[in-house]
Structure 1
Amino acid sequence: MASTATDPPAFAVGAEFQGSYPNVGAAIDAGVRVRFGIGWGEVTVLDPNTNIQGGPGC
């Protein structure tokens, strides 16, 4: 799952985890075996020590 990620999956506020991918197709491929949603928009790192993120892109 993380092999094509531009930002590997990490814990997020209001979601189990999130990651960033170079395009929608790569994100869909990464989520084939898990339940997921695709967010669009800004993502803010809320805690740099744990990389917990929040925002509309979550």
Structure 2
Amino acid sequence: MHRIVQTRLRFDLRTQDYFERRVKEGKTRREIVRCLKRCVAREVFHLVRPTQP
């Protein structure tokens, strides 16, 4: 997840905008990365969880 977040911070405009918004709110880089990892975990979970038959 760490690698995904780092890559998104470099190339994904939505993630960069999110990062800038959080910086303006006074969050530290560590806190922002933690939030982004949670977002990534949610996205991955929804992709891999089994569907109900």
TM-score tier (shorter):
under 0.3
Structure having the larger proportion of residues in strand: 1
Q: Which has the higher helix share?
A: 2
- Determine which structure has more spread, i.e. the larger CA radius of gyration: 2
**TM superposition score normalised by structure 2:** 0.22
TM-score, structure 1 normalization = 0.21
